[in-house]
Chains A and B, each alone.
Chain A
Amino acid sequence: MREFRFERPGTVADAVRRPAPGTAFLAGGTTLVDLMKLEVMTPARVLDINRLPLRGIDQTRDGLRIGALERMRDVAAHDLVRRRYPMLAQALEASASGQLRNMASIGGNLLQRTRCGYFRDVSVPCNKRAPGSGCPAIEGENRMHAVLGASDACVATHPSDLAVALVALDATVRLRSRAGTRDVALRDFHLLPGTTPEREHDLRPGELVTDVIVPDLGWASRSVYVKIRDRQSYEFALASAAVAVRRDGDTIAEARVAVGGMGTRPWRLPAVEAALAGRPAAEASYTAAAEHATDGVRPLRHNAFKPALMRRTLVRALLELERIR
């Protein structure tokens, strides 16, 4: 690990006061410490923010507020989260391991880096890690890589389960900088790689995620997160689906649908939502709507299985929803 300057700011204002380049915020450390060991990330200055008052899970005027330093385990266990947004709790519990869920923060989960093996290996090129050096994944080992939102520069999958459920719920992230506070829709927070895959989110220098806000959505109490992976636990998604449905009798009135393991960012599927609305809540409707999930897919050599897997995962999630209540 490279040397760095270690600081422990006493207040949030202190933490964002000096947005020097090469500064990293340290929360749970499950991404940052790992990548510093690999020298994929080499911050000159590390700010330990763990004692800042960015905690709490509470109901606010804007919806459920989750402090950015809340740990994955505590959010998954929280009564309000479990009752109102079961897909959030399920996405969290399907993530990582018990140890890592105790450590990793909610803010850090949204900022975690891709698990692309080329990104993690400093001996090979990677446009995300070393802009302009090339992307070995496009022609290389790409079974786990993205089929949606990729570019000629980068095909890395966004690894977060939580972000998939949050994007389905129209969550926003609250950001704090020297200039003040702003809210950004999570849907716009993660960026497509395009020609600048090193830019992963709409964070300005020195800006800190302080809260995640989940708007009220009564019918999200009927929601699920289904995750398909190579082994049953402690593995990233090959395909996942976060689904909520509001029913009017036997008809689907509204739906929220997002998928993971597929995109270069958490992937909301408005075309599938539109195709579900007004249809009978039955398997035939789900199968027909799921066809729209793969609009614009671009499979690579080793992941041609993903579009079909994604459609089936979606149908399965919608069928599981029927079994609730």
Chain B
Amino acid sequence: MTESYGISRRELLGRSGTVAAVAATVPLAVADTAPARATTGEVGVRMTVNGSVTPLTVDPRETLLDVLRERLHLTGTKKGCDRGQCGACTVHVDGERVVSCLTLAATLGGSRVTTIEGLARGDRLHPLQQAFIDHDGFQCGFCTSGQIMSAAAVLADGRARTDDEVREQMSGNLCRCGAYPGIVAAIQQARKEAS
């Protein structure tokens, strides 16, 4: 949608407002394997984000969520509650779904992170993305990237088959619009396509 304007909503907000902190990623590689490293300041981490090796220095207080959004400008991952309760910030770390708001970036040296931006293959949507469109698995869309990342892990796990099992496995992702019937239908479609 935003591509047709040649500028993303976030860029527009950034340009028109005072958010000039472009803070380009600092390419300062520090070995993650250094034993017993102590610091009150910055910590070097080298993670792989959506397939790209991404060396960063982070404040130990920075969460993965804030690093993704504010430093790497991967704003598909959403900040809902910022307390680990809503699931909007769900991403994969080393293939497993986690809430990025409770994950300190400093702990992720050597980890592989996948966000919603890393799910499609080029212009080809991931089957879950297509299924969410097909079944109206969202209304406002704020929880959707977390729902889809969570659902991708549930499908990879392979244990949820019935609607009730899908609901149980997806209970960590809240949708305040109440799009749950569409979400379950979308996950079931993607599950059946994959099997």
**Residues of A that sit less than 8 Å from B by CB:** 1, 3-11, 14, 26, 29-30, 33-34, 36-38, 46, 48, 50, 73, 96-100, 102-103, 232-234
Contact = CB atoms under 8 A, between A and B. Distances in A.
B82 to A, nearest CB: 7
B92 to A, nearest CB: 10
A80 to B, nearest CB: 18
A99 B87 contact: yes
Nearest to B91: A99
A34 B61 contact: no
A99 B36 contact: no
B37 A233 contact: no
Q: Which 8 residue pairs across A and B have the least CB separation, nearest first?
A: A97-B172, A10-B35, A6-B60, A233-B171, A234-B171, A7-B38, A1-B61, A33-B102
Contacts of B104: 26, 29, 33, 48
B107 interface: yes
A97 B85 CA distance: 9
Contact of A103 (B102, B150, B171): B102
Q: Is the interface of A mostly helix, strand, loop or mixed?
A: mixed
A36 B61 CA distance: 9
Contacts, number: 93
B46 to A, nearest CB: 14
A14 B167 CA distance: 43
Interface string B124-160: 0000000000000000000000000010011000000
A95 to B, nearest CB: 11
Contacts of B167: 233
A233 to B, nearest CB: 4
A50 B107 contact: yes
28 contacts: A1-B61, A6-B43, A6-B60, A6-B106, A7-B37, A9-B36, A14-B35, A29-B103, A30-B102, A34-B84, A37-B82, A38-B83, A48-B104, A48-B106, A48-B107, A73-B96, A98-B97, A98-B150, A98-B153, A98-B172, A99-B84, A99-B87, A99-B98, A100-B84, A100-B99, A100-B172, A102-B97, A103-B99
Nearest to B160: A98
Contacts of A36: 61
A29 B98 CA distance: 11
A30 B83 CA distance: 9
Give the residue among A5, A11, A29 with the most B Cβ atoms within 10 A.
Answer: A29
A234 B171 CA distance: 6
B2 interface: no
A6 B59 CA distance: 9
A234 B85 CA distance: 9
B102 A29 contact: yes
A97 B87 contact: yes
A100 B90 CA distance: 10
Nearest to B106: A6
A99 B169 CA distance: 9
Give the residue among A4, A99, A102 with the most B Cβ atoms within 10 A.
Answer: A99
Contacts of A10: 35-36
